[in-house]
Amino acid sequence: MHGQWFDDALSYNVIAEMKGNELPDEIIVMGAHLDSWDVAAGAHDDGAGCMHALGALKLLVDQGIKPKRTIRAVMFINEENGTRGGEEYADQAVQKKEKHIVAIESDAGGFTPRGFGVTASEPQRLKLESWLSLFPKNTVDYMSKGGGGTDIGPLHRADGTPMMGLNVDGQKMFDLHHSANDVFEAVHPRELELGTASMATLVYLLSEYGL
């Protein structure tokens, strides 16, 4: 794979936010990672996840929705070789005493969404399960025990924030993952849109009803 080590360079997480109308201090964070392996664009790993998060915010904006709780999209830096973006995000959240009600990650590719993995209390997981009929048809149909992501792991460990990971139909992921095949053309627009719609549905429900 022709990997090489270079000196560290200054880089940043990129954050977009819709402030909550009624409970702005309660934050729902959804994220993905901005860095990728150098051999290709990293379109599925993890450009698609970044688009899921940004696209979900755009869907809410386009619908004129004013969320009750704050919804934040974070594109974490340095997932692939150190998780320093995720660590820094968690450090700042603790310093600022931010209250995250849940953290959601999309880092499984831009394929057709199937469900969410959930690391939370059982009553919280059951509440999520009760929303399944509200997701777009032929997309999310389970909320299984256990799930999260590398970038949101530090926040979960720091303050116990419940975490979730978007699961997709990943049959082809390892034809592409970390290889020269992970290019823009390998992402199917419709499959990507279904993931975005699923993420938007989830964060909207969380912003309305909490966890």
Contact 108, 168 (CB under 8 A): yes
Q: How far is the CB of 26 from Zn ion (least distance, A)?
A: 27
Footprint on residues 104-143 left by Zn ion (CB under 5 A): 107
How many angstroms separate the Cα of 38 from the Cα of each of 11, 34, 79, 108, 186?
Answer: 16, 12, 13, 18, 16
Q: Residue 34: CB partners within 8 Å, gap ≥ 6?
A: 13, 14, 46, 50, 75, 76, 77, 85
Q: Which CB, 21 or 81, lies closer to Zn ion? A: 81
Which residue in the set 26, 35, 45, 98 belongs to the binding site for Zn ion (CB under 5 A)? 45
Contact 146, 71 (CB under 8 A): no
Footprint on residues 80-109 left by Zn ion (CB under 5 A): 107
Torsion of CA 88, 91, 94, 97, to 10 degrees: -50
Which residue in the set 27, 29, 34, 46 belongs to the binding site for Zn ion (CB under 5 A)? 46
Q: Which CB, 46 or 98, lies closer to Zn ion? A: 46
Q: How far is the CB of 33 from Zn ion (least distance, A)?
A: 5
Q: How far is the CB of 164 from Zn ion (least distance, A)?
A: 16
Residue closest to 134 by CA, chosen among 49, 197, 179, 80: 197
Q: Which CB, 53 or 101, lies closer to Zn ion? A: 53
Q: Which CB, 42 or 55, lies closer to Zn ion? A: 42
Q: Using the rule CB under 5 A, is 151 a contact of Zn ion?
A: no
Q: Which CB, 70 or 78, lies closer to Zn ion? A: 78
Site residues (vs Zn ion, CB under 5 A): 45-46, 107
